[in-house]
A and B are shown apart, each in its own frame.
Chain A
Amino acid sequence: MTQPPRPRVLVVEDEPDIMLLIRLWLGAGGFEVVEAQTGSEAAAYLESDESFDVVLLDLRLPDIDGWTLLTRIRGNERTRSLPVVIASAHAGSSTARRAAEFGCSYVSKPFNPETILAALRSRLGRPAGRLSSTGG
């Protein structure tokens, strides 16, 4: 009996200890985690690897702003409809609105394993472009 493939998530997070937590949670939740500590590292992964199912993106990154990276993802033909979940400590309605404009889900930091797994699972198999038409 073959196991179904584990969904691949690219986690973009600069805090090593938060990364550790996410790695543990997502690993236990059945995801295969690929880690990027900077925006440029994440961009390089997305450029060379087409097999990601979803991206978990921290907005505060050491090199480039999370929104800038998101604009690049949406501007690239290959990654245009890649599901993205934004994680940010700067909680606010403007962040949520902007996330929706990019066709992204949004979870506010600090998060717990349940919220983050639910957010990622709900986006699997749902390309970004269809987000608004399905109502969220």
Chain B
Amino acid sequence: MSDTAIEHLEPDDCWELLTASDFGRLGVATDEGGADIFPMNYLAKDRALYVRSAPGSKMIDLTRHPLVAFEVDGTRDRLRWSVVVKGEAQRLSRDSEIEESGVLGLWSQNPTEKWNYVRLTPKSVTGRRFASRRSR
């Protein structure tokens, strides 16, 4: 099979797939020059991604390393796909921003003020799709 079997997705297709899903992996840079990965739920809205970090968690050190990557993949109509959003993460500081984002709707339990809500503003969105070689 040749590389031409891989379709590179247009931004509209990427966002359609991102909007239809709600689970991905956040990649962040670390002080040691390495990276870390965290699986988490997200919300895609108005071409931005919203996530939240656990109370008291240092998992997302935004002030030191705001550039992050978020990857989502899945299978649809026997086609495998993967979309990667790279961009800048910014903690939502105003209640109105948090309300308007809709990120609260990701979880039905009552959030506390300790949760950190984060918007990922994309600088690039890339996606690939190809036929699954075997059913999973």
A and B are interacting partners = no
